[in-house]
Structures are given as C-alpha cells and as structure tokens.
C-alpha cells in the first residue's frame, strides 16, 4: 500500500454520472480516497453508508470523500441511488483496477481493490493510508485522528 510522503498518483476516472473526475481537480484540498471492493456487497454497503452518515464531519474538516471501486458508472449510479449517497463514486473499471494498482491496494487473487483509505493532502502528497482487513469497515475516526 502506498505510504505517507509519497506523491499521490494522479488519475482521471468516470463518476456515477458519466463525468470525468481527476485527482488534480482537488489540488489545494484534502481528499480521502475510499477504495472498496464492490458495489452492493454487504460490507461495502455498510462502509459507504457510514461515510455518508458522517459526511458533514468530513466536510467540516475540509475533506472531500471519493469512493473508488472497479464497478462501472452504471452500477455506481444504481448503488448511489439505492443508498441515497452524495459521495462521488469513481469507476476504476477500464483498464480494470489501474488506480488501485497505482496505490498498492489491488488484489490480483480477487480481481478487485482491497478495502483501504488514502488521505491526500492539498499539495498532492499522501498524508496517511490504511489497509483494512477484508470484512472490516474502516471507522471514520481513523481518518479524523490522522488529520489531527
């Protein structure tokens, strides 16, 4: 997994609405990249629901949350609607897992990303990262602690 101090690899991915989102779009802001394996899986559903519930706390701390998985934009849109999410969901769909690989969170065995968090500072440098056990929802408190 990518470590603190490394430059965050830039990317451009399609979001749930078909728009293109680049990490560079957020230069000057703190970004939380929330990698998760798959839309609609039980643990991923819990993870994104928790982050949505606490989105105000992320925003109060100046953090933009971006969800990233290998699912396509149409699947992301359905997942977003199902959970009433406002968090942008980015499709690391083609080439499959390219961004997850760049961040060292790709699982070749499962053909998807692991579950992990990467906090990217305003200057584009990784400030903190966390790789979760497969069925654990990483608590937002981990991010809040890393910010202080």
Is beta strand 126-131 parallel, antiparallel or unpaired with respect to 20-22?
unpaired
Is beta strand 89-91 parallel, antiparallel or unpaired with respect to 12-15?
antiparallel
38: nearest Cα among 140, 112, 102, 134: 112
Q: Evaluate if pTM is beyond 0.85.
A: yes
Alpha carbon distance 34, 133 (integer Å): 14
Instruction: Compute, in degrees rounded to 10, the torsion defined by CA atoms 77, 58, 140, 118.
Output: 70
Going from N- to C-terminal start, the domains of the chain cover 12-147
Which residue of the set 33, 34, 44, 63 is catalytic? 44
Q: Is 44 a catalytic residue?
A: yes
Query: From first to last of its 148 residues, what are the pLDDT tens digits of the chain?
Result: 999 999 999 999 999 999 999 999 999 999 999 999 999 999 999 999 999 999 999 999 999 999 999 999 999 999 999 999 999 999 999 999 999 999 999 999 999 999 999 999 999 999 999 999 989 999 999 999 999 8
pLDDT of residue 102: 98
Which class in CATH covers the domain with range 12-147? alpha beta
């Amino acid at each position: 997994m990518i470590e603190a101090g490394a430059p965050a690899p830039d990317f451009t991915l399609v979001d749930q609405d078909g728009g293109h989102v680049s990490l560079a779009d957020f230069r000057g802001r703190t970004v939380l990249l929330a990698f998760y394996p798959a839309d609609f899986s039980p643990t991923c559903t819990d993870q994104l629901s928790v982050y949505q519930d606490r989105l105000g706390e992320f925003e109060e701390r100046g953090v933009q949350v971006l969800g990233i998985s290998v699912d396509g934009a149409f699947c992301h849109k359905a997942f977003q609607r199902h959970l009433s999410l406002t968090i942008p969901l980015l499709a690391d769909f083609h080439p499959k897992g390219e961004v997850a690989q760049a961040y060292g969170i790709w699982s070749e065995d499962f053909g998807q990303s692991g579950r992990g968090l990467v906090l990217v500072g305003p200057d584009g440098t990784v400030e903190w990262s966390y790789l979760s056990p497969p069925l654990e929802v990483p608590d937002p408190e981990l991010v809040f602690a890393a910010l202080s």
